[in-house]
Amino acid sequence: MNKPAPDAVRAPTDWKTDAMQKRIRRRYARERRFKLFGMLAVILSAAFLAFLLFTMVTNGWRGFTRTEIALPLDFPAMAMQIEPAQLATPGANLALSGAELEGKVSNAALAAYGPQSVPVLSDAAWLKVREALKADPSLLGRKATLWVPASTQIEQGLRGNDAAAPLARKLYDAGKLHTGFNTGFFGDSDSTDPVAVGIWGAFKGSLLTMAVTFLIAFPIGVLSAIYLEEYAPKNRWTDLIEVSINNLAAVPSIIFGLLGLAVFLGSWSLFGVRVGPLLPRSAALVGGVTLALMIMPVIVIASRNAIKGVPPSIRDAALGIGASRIQVVFHHVLPLAMPGILTGTIIGMARALGETAPLLLIGMRAFIVTPPGGFTDPATVLPVQIFLWSDEVSRGFVEKTSAAILVLLVFLLAMNGLAIYLRNKFETRW
Amino acid sequence: MNPLALLFLIAGLGLIGWLTGRARALRIDRGGAKRLHSLPSQHGWYVATWAVLPALLFVAVWASLSPSLVRDAVLEHPAAAQLPQFEFERDALLAEAKRVAEHPDDARAFDPVAQQLAAPTRAAETRYNWMGGAIAILLAFSCGLFAWSRVRAQLKARNQVERIVMTLLLVASLIAILTTLGIFLSLLWESLRFFEQVPITDFLFGTHWSPQVIEASNPGKSLGAVPLFWGTFFIGAVIAMLVAIPFGLMSAIYLTQYAAPRVRAWMKPTLEMLAGVPTVVYGYFAALTVAPAVRDLAVMLGMPFASSESALAAGLVMGVMIIPFVSSMADDSIAAVPTAMRDGSLAMGATHSETISRVLLPAALPGVVAGVLLAVSRAIGETMIVVMAASGAANITLNPFESATTVTKQIVDLLTGEAEFDSPKTLAAFALGLTLFVITLLLNIVALRVVKKYREAYE
């Protein structure tokens, strides 16, 4: 380029020239491209979410339905050595197993439908007969036709997914099959047969685990937030606590599983005394404690922010009329910070509810047929149940896994929605 | 005694303590001779704390001691002599006896010895439960009575209660340190035991990983973790970031700089939902939908034996999971750039995109980099997606269609099999955990440093 003479007046740029027009067009085109990329990024991310939900719904909605088959049963002819009165006692299950109810039910199916290439009854059909007998002992004295779960081959055949389709179609046309809402999915527990599985056991395990998590993480989290924000002197110890909490929030969840395994379930010695296992393996208690340690930093950080948001004038006013420092916090600051604390807690609990990895390590992956009765019974939780079912290849389990995922997502959405609602409703601008 | 009933009883005693303590203080107050130092309700709290706290501490100690007491009692029973000597089997039988003892109605032991031991187990459990319960109640009652007897006008009930509350607050915040310490020590302890059996150099620099077949004479030969480190890096820090960084960054830019407020109000929570979906759902989606699609693509590209557990499938889904994380970090750091810089650039005639890519992004770069580091730390710690969609075969490969395995996947695989606690196989999981913990910690510390430094530059 030629250097302009120092005294030369620089001519204004002529924007009308072709070169300049072209240049502007190019810049604007690049601007539009850039904007388009941004829009595409947002749209594609949202589309991925939509696609994921769509996949789960198309795979999972049939998990909420179940095909049942009519099973004529002649109880007097079965010659079971059981009195109706026995069925009301706690030992009824053992007595009915002892009377070989399972074999008699499959014999009844053989009598009604003849030998087929695939089983017509679900593995769990006899359990439904057992429940029916316990609910109505008078059945023992008469013939009855019960609707029991059909086998997974028949169910999938009716949906056109299995080689048993012609047989299923035939039975359906004869009025021996009907498909209805799968109440068992919400009332039963794990099973080897996809037709008979339910999420109740896992759901109850989740409830128990979450109860433990909440009871531990919420008080401890809030109390330590209060301490750090309101009372802690600035020294090396409080710095150490702060650093610990911030780092714990970023520790991968699986590390907490290793912690639970080594500290709560392993046995180790403390000053020569053999300690442990501190908590029962596979139980909701140990899962809850582990998850509580995991989400505590989340609650502490959210609570500290909420407490920080309460203006100092409130504290000064309370102190000014003679409240003690404890009273200032518990009577004034804490109630005002509560919406923020609760929002953080709900988000933390939602994270705990969806967590799987640490629970796998502490043994909450057992095959649980009876729902846990208490905090120390072997239990599993909903996400782990999903993981266990996802290992099964049969089409029936794909449906049930997706259906369980839908249930889990509904709960998580509800919790997050509640958190957002709380935040908007109680958000105060000081 | 049922633990829940015991807790209720103790709480009930606490309530009675509160009421009687307050009543006594009120009576002194009405007597009018002396002015109370503290409010009546504070006297109530004083008595209630005395009644509840020692009893609860005792219950906690008792609960951790009683299982081993029960165990010792059961082992003294004559039938226990038939138990196998091997500790693992013996514990299993004792657990079975315990289960039968607790559910006599619908459980039956498969093993005759366990069935025989059910009755003594139940007896021992009942005995120790009642013993503990009785001591706890006695403790609550006597401590409460002691405190009640001390209620008088001069008693500084408020100061005492507040001191206890302060102690509780301090103890609560110490739990965070205890947890960190617990994680570090337990990982370190088990890892040291591992390194007694396997040289640390074999573990850190060995390139062959096959824990299924471990030579007893030289376990280090098949426990070289380099393939795992590579797989973790390849899936979490390369493939996932190739998805998460452009998508996260561009959507943050679009939503903060271009989108109309209404669009932003809707799309931001929608994208955040991606972070709220449980990882097990992503894992299932990756295994069920993405992995087969990736395999088909590989076959189309001329790799007929492509794995259906490719690194690409796991990495892609992981990247999508991380998008909201990157985008919210980028969002924050772009918003922290002073408006004057943006306005100045626009005033000079730069287009929006030129302003963003030449002014805003360079200024926000430290924050974005910190966000990316945090995202990487998250991705390499992510477990369920790789457990469900990645393979267990430890390969060192650059081909995303081939299978690769990660540290987290191997931890789960090593610990969910049936193995005794002391084998190098189980202990290797803790050594892997320690490595993972240290790396994520370093990433976080570096990221926080970067953020801090950057903040100082503009404020």
Which pLDDT value is given to residue A176?
81
Element (H, E) at B206: none
**Closest Cα to residue A329, out of A227, A211, A400, A190?**
A227
| Surface of B (210-269) touching A: CB under 8 A | 246-251, 253-255, 257-259, 267, 269
The residue ranking higher by pLDDT, A428 or A365, is A365
Domain ranges of chain B: 3-155, 219-458
Determine, for residues A326 and B440 on separate chains, whether the beta-carbon distance falls below 8 Å.
Answer: no
- The reported pLDDT for the residue numbered B277 is 92
Q: What is the distance between the terminal CA atoms of chain A, rounded to a whole angstrom?
A: 61
**Is B65's Cβ below 8 Å from some Cβ in A?**
no
CATH class of the domain defined by A200-426 = mainly alpha
Give percent of chain A above pLDDT 90: 38
Average of pLDDT values for A98-126? 80
pLDDT greater than 70 at residue A276: no
How sure is the predictor about A262, in pLDDT bands with cuts at 50, 70 and 90? confident
Lowest mean pLDDT among A150-159, A384-393, B102-111: B102-111
Q: Is B108 on the interface with A (CB under 8 A)?
A: yes
Taking CA–CA distances from B268, the nearest residue in chain A reads A42
Which residues on chain B are in Cβ contact (under 8 Å) with A40?
Answer: 250
* A429 or A403, higher pLDDT: A403
Instruction: Give residue B109's pLDDT.
Output: 62
Residue A57 has a pLDDT of 93
Q: If you write DSSP's letter for every residue of B115-179 in order, what string do you get?
A: HHHHHHHHHHHHHHHHHHHHHHHHHHHHHHHHHHHT--TT--HHHHHHHHHHHHHHHHHHHHHHH
A51-60, A323-332, B148-157, B241-250: lowest mean pLDDT where? Answer: B148-157
Residue A332: other Cβ atoms inside 10 A? 17
The pLDDT score that the predictor gives to residue A255 is 94
Chain B residues with beta carbon closer than 8 angstroms to that of A27 = 351, 354
Predicted pLDDT of residue B352: 92
Contacts of A31 in chain B (CB under 8 A): 351-354
Percent of chain A at pLDDT exceeding 70: 95
The CATH code of domain B219-458 reads 1.10.3720.10
CA pair distance A259, A362, nearest whole angstrom: 9
What would the mean pLDDT of A259-268 be, rounded to a whole number? 82
DSSP summary character for residue A12 = P
Q: Could you give the CA distance from residue A45 to residue B285 in angstroms, rounded to a whole number?
A: 15
- B405 neighbors B393 (Cβ within 8 angstroms): yes
pLDDT value of residue A121: 82
Q: What is the mean pLDDT of residues A215-229?
A: 93
CB pair distance less than 8 Å for B440 and A252 = yes
Q: Is residue A117 pLDDT above 80, yes or no?
A: no
Global confidence as pTM: 0.87
Domain range annotation of chain A: 64-181, 200-426
pLDDT along chain B (459 residues), means of 10: 82 92 87 79 90 90 79 78 69 74 64 77 85 91 90 85 90 88 89 88 87 76 88 93 94 92 88 89 93 90 82 93 92 88 93 92 89 92 91 83 90 78 80 94 88 66
Please tell me the predicted confidence (pLDDT) of residue A81.
73
The per-residue pLDDT of chain A, averaged, comes to 85
For CA atoms A208, A209, A215, A216, the dihedral sign is: positive
Nearest to B278 among A219, A324, A412 (CB): A412
If you average pLDDT over residues A223-251, what whole number do you get? 88
Distances in whole angstroms, Cα of residue B116 to Cα of each of A391, B98, B124, B141, B217: 37, 11, 14, 39, 42
pLDDT digits (tens, 9 = 90+) for A171-187: 888 878 888 888 888 88
Q: Give the closest residue to A77 by CA, choosing from A107, A102, A98.
A: A107
Q: Is the pLDDT of residue A261 over 60?
A: yes
Nearest chain B CA: its distance from A114 CA (Å)? 34
| Confidence class for position A348, pLDDT limits 50, 70, 90 | very high
| C-alpha distances out from residue A408 to B68, B153, B206, Å | 38, 57, 42
